[in-house]
Amino acid sequence: MTDTGIDRDAEGLRDRIAAELARTRARTVLLTEAVDDADLVRQHSPLMSPLVWDLAHVGNQEELWLVRDVGGREPVRCDIDDLYDAFKQPRRDRPSLPLLPPPEARAYVATVREKVYDLLDGVTFDGGKLVADGFAFGMIVQHEQQHDETMLATHQLRSGPAALHAPPPPEPTVRVPAEVLVPAGPFTMGTDTDPWALDNERPAHRVDLPAYVIDAAPVTNGAYRAFIADGGYDDPRWWTEAGWQHRRQAGLTAPMHWQRDGDGWSYLRFGTWSRVRDDEPVVHVCFHEAQAYATWASKRLPTEAEWEKAARWDPATGRSRRYPWGDGDPTPIQANLGQRHLSPAPVGAYPAGASPLGVHQLIGDVWEWTATPFRGYPGFAAFPYREYSEVFFGDDHQVLRGGSFGTDQAACRGTFRNWDYPIRRQIFSGFRCARDARPDEAHR
């Protein structure tokens, strides 16, 4: 066979897919082998699945989409499809299901992966939209990485000694300003060109925004402690009606995992207590807490469009970048991603990752709540199935942006959209604030 540019491109894509599959599976193995089998089958919170369910679920999704759909091959285990269907099995009920025990789950996902590698050797990428640019493989990589972050959140909820270890994030190297002005004007939101972008990130569309001011960094523990000290959790003026009702019902008095420690606070991270560090972004707060803080600070949460313009828009060219720093994939000097560290990095630790406007730490560290409910963009089309995004559209879920220290780069970019219920805070969630620009600021 004659070697052509197309052949070389296909071979390069196969190599990339194989590397991403292997890198992702190594993380899954780390998260599931860090504890014993008794811990794998235990439910650490009714909000989360037993780790062994997540393990078999990622294998089942890989089998459904790649082995059966793309490869057209015989099922490996069609008898377990219902057990690992996230829509049929609520998280709170999963421990009572006849789940695959850990040795069987490991064997199952290994068998599925062997079949995927085999079909990858012969697949062509011109057989329709599902396989174009390796999309189906990229979707499975992102799905597994998303469950890896979910499993990391489950580890945070575990009782007992630490099972995961990582070096601390880098120290700050720059002083970050308090706020940044984003000038009025249009920008391109979403994408038509990122080959592994998911349906809710599409299509690209023009959004015209008035001038606004956004925090140059996520809200820190120190700033949030001031809100607590000023009685923020006891004053209904700062809370919406729904937020105040939830605060009272849930008994919220501080971010999740915080505890009073003398005249200050300590937090529990992956089995280890330490003093709250003031210059780190606050994490494990729900949407209602973020909204209350913003109101107390005489600000508001940014809309999703405001967040994305601050993260992607380049005033020098007028175009939207893939990431704040450009179109290149994240490196360890640009963002705190991929579980390299087990906490947010202090503000000022990633100057190389700042946007052209000077907004810092938009990617990684903490998922950032926005003021926008999760909906499809104009012209949205569900692909490859409605249950990925469309069934979640509406007022019940708020959009989060930017990824966290537990998010992998494969599942994070400037257009990536996450969503959750506004009461959730077991996720690695924080926020930054925004406000309308004053007339004297808007016309600078």
Per the annotation, does 143 bind a ligand? yes
End-to-end CA distance of the chain: 62
When computed from its CA atoms, the radius of gyration of the chain, rounded to whole angstroms, is 22
Per the annotation, does 288 bind a ligand? no
Report residue 104 as tokens.
């069987």
Per the annotation, does 147 bind a ligand? yes
Per the annotation, does 424 bind a ligand? yes
Per the annotation, does 93 bind a ligand? yes
- Is the torsion defined by CA of 347, 350, 353, 357 positive or negative? positive
Secondary structure, 3-state, 127-172: CCCCCHHHHHHHHHHHHHHHHHHHHHHHHHHCCCCCCCCCCCCCCC
Give the span between the Cα atoms of 419 and 375, in whole angstroms. 10
Report residue 319 as tokens.
């175009």
Per the annotation, does 94 bind a ligand? yes
Kindly state the helix (H) or strand (E) to which residue 240 belongs, with its residue range.
Answer: none
Share of the chain residues as helix, strand and coil, in percent rounded to the nearest 5: 40, 15, 50
Kindly state the helix (H) or strand (E) to which residue 319 belongs, with its residue range.
Answer: none
DSSP letters spanning 381-418: ---S-GGGTGGG-STT-EEEES--TT--GGG--TT--E
Per the annotation, does 25 bind a ligand? no
- Is the torsion defined by CA of 402, 408, 413, 417 positive or negative? negative
> What b-and-e string marks burial along 128-158, b requiring 16 or more CB atoms within 10 Å of the CB?
eeebeebbbbbbbbbbbbbbbbbbbbbbbbb
Which residue numbers belong to the known binding site?
57, 91-94, 143, 147, 420, 424
Which residue numbers belong to the known binding site for Fe cation?
57, 143, 147
Which residue numbers belong to the known binding site for gamma-L-glutamyl-L-cysteine?
91-94, 420, 424
